[in-house]
Amino acid sequence: MLMKTDRKNALTIDVEDYFQVSAMAPYIRRSDWDSCECRVERNVDRILAILAEEGAQATFFTLGWVAERYPAMVRRIVEQGHELASHGYGHERVSDLDQTDFRDDVVRAKRVLEDTGGVEVLGYRAPSFSIGDSNLWALDVLADTGHCYSSSIYPVRHDHYGSPDAPRFMHTVREGLIEVPPTTLRLFSRNLPSSGGGYFRLLPYSLSRWMIESVNRRDGESAIFYFHPWEIDAEQPRVPGIDLKTRFRHYVNIERNEAKLRRLLKDLPWGRMDQIFLGRRQAEVALA
């Protein structure tokens, strides 16, 4: 059994609403988003209250679309000491965009978030971790548009995303830009997802915590945990007509997730992406 570690891990929230999830795209048209019941603000406020109770800081990867509609929520995120980062503007997968459209999306999102939050946006996470081997040009765009880090390349094998041979930990990908991949556990010559989301809802809590602490102890690395505001919202509207796999992935154990998250915040130390990884990178450069 691993002893408790004091290494600070990065807590991240992908700020999008339930109807914006990529798996829901075949069932909810983008043109219908404005007519859907939005629940993201109340869920983010719940998360902010939980973080305040536990004394934890986090990074909020936020859609520009959401920031335009809930500017006061974005300002509350910043005012309470959390990092504001970009999740793009309209939750379009990078793999569905060409370079021009991707640049337009990230520039628009960065401008909206910075104007709304009053802080510089340094980080970016691609919707559905949709940067991979086939579109690494996206990293050039991110570096060129003033981003300092990305957390977009998931080194796992998955039916919707993943680059299983990509590096597991922070590394420089372009001048001035680092990639900080979501956390995986190396076991039996495979990278196992250990970062949160649906995996956290599905797996026993003790296993999820063990995987994070294994990365802390055995690899000597800070872990990255992610979840979405809708993952603590058991009362969200049920989307009709979705296929069985999507239904399971989206709703499994959602009613238990807040209690598990609270336990995780109590058991391990958590902080912001920029302070953990950009601070470390600056120290490494200074020592070089």
Q: Residue 252 corresponds to which tokens in the numbers above?
A: 């499994």
| Residue 283 pLDDT | 67
Provide mean pLDDT across the span 179-194: 91
The tens digit of pLDDT for each residue in 108-151 reads 999 999 999 999 999 999 999 999 999 999 999 999 999 999 99
The tens digit of pLDDT for each residue in 225-266 reads 999 999 999 999 999 999 999 999 999 999 999 999 999 999
| Residue 163 pLDDT | 84
Domain boundaries, the chain: 9-287
Fold of domain 9-287: TIM Barrel (3.20.20)
| Residue 80 pLDDT | 98
| Residue 1 pLDDT | 44
Q: Which residues pair with 177 in a beta bridge?
A: 174
Its pTM stands at: 0.95
pLDDT-derived band at 278 (thresholds 50, 70, 90) equals very high
Match 């800070």 to its residue by tokens: 222
Q: Residue 12 corresponds to which tokens in the numbers above?
A: 């991240």
